[in-house]
Amino acid sequence: MPPAGARQSTRVLPDGCVDLISRGGELLIAGPDLGAFESRPIAGQTIVGLRLRPGVAGSVLGIPASELRDTRVAIDEVWARRGPGLADAVAEAGPPALRRRALEDLLLARLRDAGEPDRLVLAAADWLGRPGTRVSALGGLLGIGERQLRRRFDGAVGYGPKVLDRVLRFQRLVAAAPAIAAGDDALARVAAELGYADQAHLTRECKRLSGLTPARLADAWAPAKKARWAT
């Protein structure tokens, strides 16, 4: 076990979500990411957080989610009038369970003031990342133009539907890591089941989004789920 205060590297993978994180005396907003993020949390430090699913962050945080893409920012940079003191209030709530409750109360208070999430984006996001999904057909299915759909995704999710489709499909690959590492699933079959064009396509996407080959990803994620709040 590393000594208290030491820093370890943790790879955080893109998932289309935006996270609200309490770490020490900091209160941060993280993501959405377009690639893997290398975090160095302090050993022995407890991190708590809440995850906003794709399509929710824009309305809850009150800014276009695209402004948060690939960033880790203090909450007072986003909520200029409400941010000061929020980090201390959460940090001083006590044990991790109470800190999480403080985060929940903070978001619930914000939800009461915020507008409803974009229901069209939420409906579209439910289609994405699945085999057979044609992103180009989403606009027609939802009765909206492709340009307007992209604009609404940028505001609500942080990037367009094509990117979210790639990220969500990649997350399905991450979920298959234990079977891949155990040799229960061949990559070619996994590629077909997840909707990749072929094994080479799966490998390219895995490298782009994680910085790892599928084999290395499977080895890293199969033994145990990595800490997802370490950002």
Whether residue 106 is found in the same domain as residue 124: no
User: Is 79 in contact with 62 (CB distance < 8 Å)?
Assistant: yes
Residue with the two structure tokens 């959405």 = 32
Distances (CA, A) of 23 to 29, 55, 87, 107, 191: 11, 25, 9, 17, 37
Whether residue 82 is found in the same domain as residue 156: no
**How many folded domains does the chain comprise?**
2
Q: Quote the CA–CA distance of 67 and 16 in Å, as a whole number.
A: 14
Whether residue 94 is found in the same domain as residue 38: yes
Q: Quote the CA–CA distance of 64 and 43 in Å, as a whole number.
A: 34
pLDDT for res 198:
93
Instruction: Judge whether 5 lies within some domain.
Output: no
Question: Considering 78, 113, 148, which residue would you say is the last residue of a domain?
Answer: 113
Question: Considering 113, 148, 165, which residue would you say is the last residue of a domain?
Answer: 113
Q: Give per-residue pLDDT as tens, 90-127.
A: 888 888 899 899 888 888 888 888 878 999 999 999 88
Whether residue 144 is found in the same domain as residue 164: yes
Whether residue 126 is found in the same domain as residue 101: no
DSSP result, 175-230: HTHHHHHTTSS-HHHHHHHHT-SSHHHHHHHHHHHHSS-HHHHHHHHSSSPPPTT-
Q: Which domain holds residue 211?
A: 119-221
Q: Give the CATH number, domain containing residue 182.
A: 1.10.10.60
pLDDT for res 213:
93
pLDDT for res 38:
84
Whether residue 132 is found in the same domain as residue 217: yes
Instruction: Judge whether 84 lies within some domain.
Output: yes
Q: Which residues of the chain have pLDDT under 50?
A: 1-6, 225-231
Instruction: Judge whether 81 lies within some domain.
Output: yes
Instruction: Judge whether 47 lies within some domain.
Output: yes
pLDDT for res 223:
61
Would you state the structure tokens that stand for residue 223, as one six-digit string? 């033994």
Would you state the structure tokens that stand for residue 86, as one six-digit string? 């929020």
pLDDT for res 2:
44
Question: Considering 113, 141, 170, which residue would you say is the last residue of a domain?
Answer: 113
